[in-house]
Amino acid sequence: QKEVEQDPGPLSVPEGAIVSLNCTYSNSAFQYFMWYRQYSRKGPELLMYTYSSGNKEDGRFTAQVDKSSKYISLFIRDSQPSDSATYLCAMRDSGGYNKLIFGAGTRLAVHP
């Protein structure tokens, strides 16, 4: 079993839809949770960074962390064709070193 599970999709939605992306994890030591966006043939771009449980909002993006369920989510409101990319969840614990554990990524396509 992988430490981080993420549905690879692809997920196809119409422009303006609300998108929900999710990851589950098994390691209760994870404290820091991130969402990255990766366009084709590019490096991952940090979207959201959350510590422990709770919600965080930035523009059209909302990240939620539920540590009791070991479940994190990213919501995208008013989705745009420019949001079409692969979304990667990543997480790490608070000790040792800055090793990120990634999900496999969900491919999102937003069509006009």
Q: Which residue ranges make up the site for other proteins (CB under 8 A)?
A: 4, 6, 8, 32, 34, 36, 41-46, 49, 51, 88, 90, 94-105
- Given the complex with other proteins, which of 51 and 71 has the nearer CB atom? 51
Candidates 33, 47, 34, 32; CA nearest to 85 is 47
- Given the complex with other proteins, which of 68 and 98 has the nearer CB atom? 98
What is the C-alpha to C-alpha distance for residues 58 and 29, in angstroms, rounded to an integer?
A: 26
Smallest distance from other proteins to CB 70, Å: 17
Helix (H, G, I), strand (E, B) or coil at 26: coil
Element (H, E) at 51: strand 45-51
Smallest distance from other proteins to CB 6, Å: 7
